[in-house]
Amino acid sequence: MKITKISTMIINAKMRNWVIVRVDTDVAGLYGLGEATVEFQTLAVVGAVENVGALIIGRDPLDIERNWQIMYRHPFFKGGVISMSALSGIDQALWDITAKDLGVPLWRALGGLARDRVRLYDHLGGGNSEAVYNSETATSFAEKMHESIDLGFTAVKILAVPQSAPLDGADKLKHTDLLMKAAREAAGDQIDIMIDFHGRTSAAMAIAFAKVLEPYHPYFLEEVVQPEQFEAMKRVKEKVSIPLAAGERLYTTQDYLPFLQAGILDVAQPDVCHAGGITGLRKIAALCDTFGVVMAPHNPLGPIATMVNVHLGLVTPNFLIQEVMRADVPWRADVVEGAPEIKDGHIYPPTGIGIGASINGTAAKQHPYIADAPTQWFNSDGSVADW
């Protein structure tokens, strides 16, 4: 068997363009799908798929590890979100081909079940650039919480931390306190609530916000500082008792190792679309497992990535919980075929062959590529802020 073609399809989903990767073989009807979505850098990753994919045209798609090594090591400049995302989408597609060739679901090809079902968490939003909080905000937030609970979710994630300067005033802390209070009162004590800081705070402000949040017992705090600020995260860990999560912007085992060695990472959040695909994420998961760190993979992306993450959650021993985008676009179910039903906040093992999902090309064409740009935030003095 040989790889004959590697191509991409772009589907616009409002905030981001999904980049779907297809790998074709010389066996009639046998192809694989993957996802390489990178927010705000769509065309760059599409070009990278073409460049990286050219390295393995003509090779056996079942030699996944060797193909992964070729795509990672043969380019002189290794790593980075663009190249790693291109590699990730292709790697997922190779695993899809392998499972289809065996005639089994992907989770079976990956070694079989480590658990019976994958726990999911829902998104409530709540983050904004201004520290504005009122009764209308509280009511809306409570309604969203009750909707998630009614759908069976036992965990949610919120953006309760507003835009803040490196050092900021009591109004920002009050905003977070009131938003988290509304979330906890609506949820009760049985629902786990995660707080995404989105890397928008300094270490000093992260510590201040964490002290406000502590009485509400968050499940974990995500990206309390920018991912490259290793020393800043160490300072936060020294002062905060809530578990810390990070990793969506770390792409290799080498990136994760210093965080693990320093003991400042409680929950790892690699993204299967950026961290080397299935092969790369499993390497990271195994490394994290040796340090007793659990996995909560990052996944605000498209339907193929979600399906791949479900399979990985089923087979990964140190898996904790899975992020899922339930309602980013109302037509998601029209574009993807074969996605399993969410039952009581969980997904059970898919029975379809391979990844078990396919793209409806006709429906996808109704949502063509639209040029995207990142959100831009500025502090009150005009200086650039992380969002």
Q: What is the pLDDT of residue 143?
A: 86
> What contacts 230, CB < 8 A, 6 or more positions away?
258, 259, 262
Q: What is the pLDDT of residue 127?
A: 54
- Beta bridge partners of residue 215, listed in sequence order: none
Angle at 334 between CA 330 and CA 336, to 5 degrees: 110
Residue with tokens 């927010």: 39
Q: What is the pLDDT of residue 101?
A: 98
Q: What is the pLDDT of residue 135?
A: 59
- Tell me the pTM: 0.95
- Report residue 305: phi and psi, to 5°: -60, -40
Q: What is the pLDDT of residue 325?
A: 86
Q: What is the pLDDT of residue 128?
A: 55
Summarised one tens digit per residue, pLDDT across range 62-115 is 999 999 999 999 999 998 999 999 999 999 999 999 999 999 999 999 999 999
Q: Which long-range contacts (CB under 8 A, 24 or more apart) does 172-178 make?
A: 172/131, 172/205, 172/209, 173/208, 173/209, 173/212, 174/131, 174/133, 175/131, 175/132, 175/133, 176/209, 176/212, 176/213, 177/212, 177/213, 178/133, 178/138
**Which tokens is 231 given?**
């020393």
Domains defined for the chain, CATH in brackets: 3-104 (3.30.390.10), 109-353 (3.20.20.120)
Amino acid identity at 181: K
**Which tokens is 207 given?**
């510590």
Amino acid identity at 30: L
b/e per residue 339-360 (b: at least 16 CB within 10 A)? bbebeebbbebbebbbbbbbbe
Q: What is the pLDDT of residue 132?
A: 54
Cite the active site residues: 198, 298
Q: What is the pLDDT of residue 150?
A: 93
Angstrom distance (rounded) from CA 264 to CA 244: 7
Angle at 321 between CA 142 and CA 212, to 5 degrees: 50
Task: Give the residue ranges of the chain where pLDDT is below 70.
Answer: 126-137
Angstrom distance (rounded) from CA 4 to CA 279: 21
The DSSP symbol for 220 reads -
Could you tell me how many residues make up the chain?
A: 387
Q: What is the pLDDT of residue 374?
A: 84
